[in-house]
Amino acid sequence: MKKFLVLLLIAAAPVIQAQDRMTPELLWKLKRIGEIAVSPDHTTIAYTLREYNVSANTSESNIYIVSINGGEPKPFITAEGTEYNLAWSKDSKKLYYLAKGKGGYNIFAAALDGTSAAQISNFRNDITGFKFSPDESIVVFSKDVKLESYTGYETYKDMPQSNVRIVEDLMYRHWSDWEDGVRSHIFFTSVIDGKVQGDGVDAMNGEKFDSPLKPFGGIEHFTIAPDNKSFVYVCKKLSGVDFATSTNSDIYSYNFETKKTTNLTEGMMGYDVDPDYSEDGTKLAWLSMKTNGYEADKNDIVVMDLATKKVTNLTSGFDLTVDAFTWSPKGDKIYFRSVKEAVYQLYEYDFASAKLNQVTSGDHDYTSLAFAGDYLVGGRQDMNHPTDIFKVSIKKGEQTQLTDVNKDIYATVKTGPVEKRWVTTSDGKKELVWVIYPPDFDKTKKYPALLYCQGGPQSAVSQFFSYRWNFQLMAANDYIIIAPNRRGLPGFGQEWNDAIRSDWGGQPIEDYLSAVDEIKKEPYIDSTRIGAVGASYGGYSVYYLAGVHENRFKCFISHCGLYNLESWYGTTEELFFANSDIGGPFYGVQPPQDYIDFSPHRKAHLWNTPMLIFHGEQDFRVPLNQGLEAFQALQIKGIDSKMVLFPDENHFVLQPQNAIIWHREFYAWLDKYLK
């Protein structure tokens, strides 16, 4: 659950207050940088830029380029529709990308002036991602293929108007999609005179498994060897209960000539993902977790010497989890991204000295990284600013902003200060707490406050910029936000990260209360006007706090929260998460004590505080019944409550108009009780 919640959680407010403050409408006018790709000669950066049309309830992503030396970015491809999957030619003179063309989403190529854009593949069906071999003679790509029947009309041909799902195994639904017998597969084909040939060969030969891994895997899950003889891909070759209870993905090598597939990570039992070759092809690196079934385990960079097959863990002595990495061209260094004390920074690993060096510093998050000669290039954001592109001097750590895609909006928007505080917890440890203040903050005034409860549960409360849980927007509505990095979050060592397992309602909840009790002592916080808000595990936290808060809070908001751990275990899909964090199923001779001690529904008889509930009806991670059960308890008890349901949203709220309604309901509820 953790990794899916960090980067997609989004927020807002209802009525436009003033020209100089963030509003939900302005939030959805912000342009969003997505992919960032550096040319092989390290002179040019291509990136995607998504813009939303609220009135049409749509969005579109286009391609821009900017020089590594700065200057004004230039539109590159701005055709109707969305372009993505950026890949440079080896001579840095062309850019390849995916766009809607004849037959569906196909590969296009364009010279740097953007004038010669042309479709170079003619796949009969959409492809979802691609990579070229280093010499551009082979293209490997992903595509969905139908392999099994799951509906009544597929099984019973004489019943074409039926609407029936036939389920025989787990997982019959995942994230927000019902099982339909479609698998994502890896294909390959040749490229001759710049043209992609045919529909390609299915390297997975009809296997009933997915690569890239669904629902969020992409082109980072496959890559071609520099010698053009093979490629590697990520796959979890399990099915049924085994698939639902395991995180054991492996990295497979496919030989183009022999058609033989080899498992390179046999015996490595956790997630193994994101493989990448050194430029000379002698080594393969990837991200690896040790523990099967534990998706929030420490993520390490491991490297295989392809001649000896020896595997070395580069970051075993680094007590922080790794998020992404890239090689230097010489293969003597690896650069990576990791969260440390609630900020995502860039690091360097030197093979010769076997030492780590922190390259960047400051209160911000790097969202990506790429190598660019003397520089690293990546997206950077903070709580008050969405992602822009920065270059970083590897030697000096100097950070230079290359884009400012929302400068027109921010020229008129005031932002509030963000403060880093350390609070002593109930068990005597130190907890980092962000405190976000309104624009024009006046310490002589009294402000209402919000406790922000993070989801995941193992997702850092970093300097992220969210389009739903947006701290700048909350502050613009004159709330002070208290955002603790409670137990169970990465960035403070693996022991702190692991401490939430089998203790959901224990020390992590105490950490929230410690943060609130300390920060509310400030004279500018009105301790009688504090609310608690959160999504997913944060929504669980709200439900749990409602039964133990001893009147600290005046109102609550829970989004897609877990209310009844027993019914949740019976309806969620990735059971490895529940088994790892809760301890297993609720039935049996001796079920985990967590179901008795830490399920919010067991404390609902103590609820006495108004609550707003949001839930997406397509959320299969925390299914709809969780919100329905909580709302029913509130109504039976006569507690003022409201439920806002989104029939076509999942764990998140992704459509612009739905999101703005979410914002308006969110702030109307807070204003009703805290203003």
Residues marked as catalytic:
536, 619, 651
Q: What are phi and psi of 3, to 5 degrees?
A: -70, -20
Task: Enter the tokens of residue 243.
Answer: 């698939």
Terminal Cα-to-Cα distance of the chain (whole angstroms): 34
Task: Enter the tokens of residue 302.
Answer: 């491991």
* Beta strands 195-196 and 118-119, pairing class: unpaired
Q: How many residues does the chain have?
A: 675
Q: Find where tokens 């490997």 sit.
A: 140
Q: Which of 549, 546, 499 is nearest to 520 (CA)?
A: 549
> Reading across the β-sheet that carries 230-235, which strands appear in turn?
222-224, 230-235, 250-255, 261-263
Beta bridge partners of 66: 45
Q: What are phi and psi of 583, to 5 degrees?
A: 110, 5
* Cα–Cα distance, 63 to 344 (Å, whole number): 26
Q: Are 536 and 458 in contact (CB under 8 A)?
A: no
* Cα–Cα distance, 616 to 623 (Å, whole number): 8
Q: Are 386 and 406 in contact (CB under 8 A)?
A: yes
Q: Which of 342, 289, 343 is nearest to 313 (CA)?
A: 289
Q: Number of H helices and number of E strands within the chain?
A: 14, 40
Query: What does 372-386 look like in DSSP terms, one character per residue?
Result: ETTEEEEEEEETTEE
* Cα–Cα distance, 163 to 186 (Å, whole number): 31
